[in-house]
A = this chain, B = another copy of it.
Amino acid sequence: MAVTIKDVAKMAKVAPSTVSRVIANNPRISEKTKQKVREAMEQLGYHPNFIARSLASQSTRAIGLIMPSSTDVVFQNPFFPTVLRGLSEGAHERHYALHMTTGKTDDEIYEGVVQMVQGGRVDGVILLYSKVEDKVLAFLKDRDFPFVVIGKPFSDEEEITYVDNNNFRAAKEVTEYLIKLGHKQIAFVGGNLNLTVTVERLLGYEKALRDAGIELVNEYIVHEEFLKEGGQEAVRELISLTKPPTALVVADDLMALGVLNTLDEMGIKVPEDMSIISFNNVLLAEMSRPPLTSVDINIFDLGFESARSLIYRIENPREPVKRIIIPHKIVKRCSCSSPKTEEPQIVS
């Protein structure tokens, strides 16, 4: 058995409660006994037992991470290692540990969360995704358990603490950027519509077009999963239109990579024949050919601020909910240019 507070107490010739106070650095303990106790701890190699401490203090100093379905393609996104880094750093800063749940199906995930929460394993949780009609979110809200979601909640926005980018605005900006370059036929290649992020980006795209007086055409909006095959399908559909787009707003870098490949296979040059702009600015964005113009959404900060606000919520339960918007920035690389003016060519 490991060395406990009692062993230390015995060695320092004080009561266990005194040792406990020394650990908490209670000011009512004299410096002399503090020193004595600390020496004993040192000599015995004492380390506090988190479990016992949790039981007594009713707080675990651990936060739970709820991942999206592990079978979901988004799980493969380089997005995750980066949020994780942010989360980890934010938690570490306040001496919180990280606990994880994953699952293949939605039910598995839900069960995991219930276990974790009811079982008292964590003081609060962070939802690493935001989708419509989420059972998990409903559960947490119902139980009034501290949580924050990364991304904009589908509903009850006012009553939920969340950390997000302004995806609507970001999408509007990139679309306006393309319009300014002279594009009029701009398509949107989005991911799963169950994710609120997809919806927000789509809305921003539409708003920009409407503001510019450009008609929305249904065939220009395609939705596929965030990953490879999806991108390819989407592109083929678009290119085969009688009046194909000259520019693409793609909801995710990884998907844009797939798009890039398909275009290459079809002999369509980027950015000469087709402009592409995408989101997230993961490492791949600069490793593609051509390097992608992409919206940097500061993934790390998304994680970092989520951890921070959850911890704040845990430690100040009665404070009002708040939302944090992480700034974004368009990183211009080489995948966008002005459209070729087709008409003159026909005339000549």
Shortest beta-carbon distance from A71 to chain B in Å:
8
Residue in B60, B75, B77, B104 whose beta carbon sits within 8 Å of that of A51 in the complex: B60
Query: When the two chains form their complex, are residues B101 and A97 in contact, meaning their CB atoms are under 8 A apart?
Result: yes
Contacts of A257 in B (CB 8 A): 284, 287
Query: When the two chains form their complex, are residues A76 and B76 in contact, meaning their CB atoms are under 8 A apart?
Result: no
Q: How far is the CA of A119 from the CA of B95 in the complex (A)?
A: 13
The number of chain A residues touching the other chain, given as a range, is: 35 or more
Contacts of A51 in B (CB 8 A): 51, 54-55, 60, 119-121
Q: Does A338 contact B (CB under 8 A)?
A: no
Residue in B65, B118, B227 whose beta carbon sits within 8 Å of that of A2 in the complex: B118
Shortest beta-carbon distance from A11 to chain B in Å:
18
Q: How far is the CA of A257 from the CA of B288 in the complex (A)?
A: 8
Q: Does A98 contact B (CB under 8 A)?
A: yes
Query: When the two chains form their complex, are residues B102 and A99 in contact, meaning their CB atoms are under 8 A apart?
Result: no
Q: How far is the CA of A84 from the CA of B114 in the complex (A)?
A: 21
How many copies of this chain? Answer: 2
Residue in B54, B82, B98, B119 whose beta carbon sits within 8 Å of that of A99 in the complex: B98
Q: Does A20 contact B (CB under 8 A)?
A: no
Nearest residue (CB) in B for A47 is B118
Query: Which residues of A, 21-61, contact B by the 8 Å Cβ criterion?
Result: 47-52, 54-55, 60
Q: Does A80 contact B (CB under 8 A)?
A: yes
Shortest beta-carbon distance from A136 to chain B in Å:
16
Q: Does A70 contact B (CB under 8 A)?
A: yes
Q: How far is the CA of A75 from the CA of B89 in the complex (A)?
A: 14
Query: Which residues of A, 246-267, contact B by the 8 Å Cβ criterion?
Result: 257-258, 261, 264
Q: How far is the CA of A115 from the CA of B53 in the complex (A)?
A: 13
With A80-B81, A82-B76 as contacts: A98 and B97 at CB distance below 8 Å: no
Q: How far is the CA of A50 from the CA of B51 in the complex (A)?
A: 9
Give a binary string over A103-132; 1 marks a CB under 8 Å from any B CB, 0 the rest: 110001000101110111100000000000
Top-9 shortest CB links A-B: A47-B118, A50-B119, A88-B102, A98-B100, A70-B85, A51-B54, A51-B55, A49-B120, A50-B121
Given contacts A70-B84, A92-B108, 12 further A-B contacts (CB under 8 A): A2-B118, A49-B120, A51-B121, A65-B100, A70-B89, A76-B81, A76-B283, A85-B102, A88-B100, A88-B102, A98-B100, A264-B289
What are 6 A-B pairs with beta-carbon distances under 8 A? A2-B118, A47-B114, A70-B84, A78-B78, A84-B102, A264-B289
Binding site for B on A (CB under 8 A): 2, 47-52, 54-55, 60, 62, 65, 67, 70, 75-78, 80-82, 84-85, 88-89, 92, 97-104, 108, 112, 114-116, 118-121, 227-228, 257-258, 261, 264, 283-284, 286-287, 289
